[in-house]
Amino acid sequence: MRILVTGSARGLGLGICTAAAKRGDEVIAACRKSTAELRALAVRVVEGIDVAEESSLQRLRDALGAEPLDTVVCNAGINVSCSSRSIDELDLGALAKEYGVNAVGTARTVQAVLPNLGKGSKVILITTSGETLRRNPSRGGSYGYRMSKAGINQFGFLLASEIRPRGIAVRIISPGPVDTDMTRIIGGAGVVLARAPGQMPDIVTAGRKVLGQIDELTLEDTGSWIDQADKRWA
């Protein structure tokens, strides 16, 4: 499988790249800036890719050329408002940035690589738990992050319906709590996490799980939402 992963330098993106490379997939790792961990993998790294910038996505188009892709994983994302607990302290600038990266950046990525996708290809959108998005969630805060993830979900549903006739399948995946730098920062900001960082799966374990959910995706399942943390939302 030739797989493109955005946000690949750390966290879940790095875990997916690691797991895919270990099993022999051809991995194209797109990131803003590479890391020693990413460079140590048998993957092709494309640096300077900020999904919030159109010019950056043109660099990705140039790097790919006409090269066909089996799968694109839209994983790039940020959470800069993790400590925002109320509307009174909400940083609207941060909210706009999160939406620009997480939601608009996902749509921009898919649009950029769509010419490289064909019959049998798959588009994977990384989202967050349905429990945090539904009515009356158990905890508040993180407005920008959660609003943008809701936007990703709706984009995925619309996209799946539109590109199904092209033979391209779409799946929205919430990997559940994963032990990443982001979750440690959130916990450090005083947000109560579902699990302590040390009790969450590491990035490679989570990456293998995501790959399994990619492998099992068929066109008949397009538009499906897999929520590892809350099966009621699957």
Per-residue confidence (pLDDT) for residue 176, from 0 to 100: 85
Are 124 and 72 in contact by the 8 Å Cβ rule? The answer is yes
b/e code 78-92 from CB counts within 10 Å (16+ = b): bbbbbbbbeeeeeee
Query: If we measure between CA atoms, which residue out of 120, 122, 72 comes closest to residue 223?
Result: 122
pTM over 0.85: yes
State the pLDDT at residue 110: 98
Fold of 2-233: Rossmann fold (3.40.50)
Contact 175, 12 (CB under 8 A): yes
Low-confidence ranges of the chain (pLDDT < 50): 184-192, 232-234
Quickly tell me which residue has 């019959």 as its tokens: 119
Query: What distance in Å separates the CA atoms of residue 71 and residue 27, rounded to the nearest whole number?
Result: 10
Q: How far is CA 51 from CA 39, 97, 102, 196, in A?
A: 20, 11, 8, 30
Query: What pLDDT score was predicted for residue 140?
Result: 76
pLDDT, residue 171, reads 98
Domain spans, the chain: 2-233
